[in-house]
Amino acid sequence: MTRRLMSTLGALAAGLLLAVAVPGSAQAATGDVIINDIEFTRSPHGCVVFPSERLLDVDNSSDRTVTVYRGPDCAGDVAGEVPVDHRRTYEGKSVFIP
């Protein structure tokens, strides 16, 4: 019983340590992202769809790389990525801000 209890407590402690060690992976980007003169501020995140656009001009002042997709709903082929503190233009229909 004592060995089983110690094993369970060890597993719980390891899980708690992992949960505390990787908190940034679930957080939204901080900073601003401007797409075709539309500003997304205050920790933007998620998929932004531009169904009628062909060229997406992305100015990324956030702390995460932004991905431009050729198709809608941030799916399909990737047109390109916009690194932190860069501005790039791609043909696409949607942008994913992590």
Backbone angles phi, psi at 12, to 5 degrees: -65, -40
Q: Are strands 94-97 and 46-49 parallel, antiparallel or unpaired?
A: antiparallel
**pTM of structure:** 0.70
Domain ranges in the chain? 27-97
Per-residue pLDDT of the chain (98 residues; tens, 9 = 90+): 554 434 433 333 333 333 333 334 456 788 999 999 999 887 788 999 998 889 999 999 999 999 999 999 999 999 999 999 999 999 999 999 99
- Integer CA distances (angstroms), 67 to 8, 15, 17, 33, in order: 41, 31, 31, 12
User: Could you confirm whether domain 27-97 is CATH 2.120.10?
Assistant: no
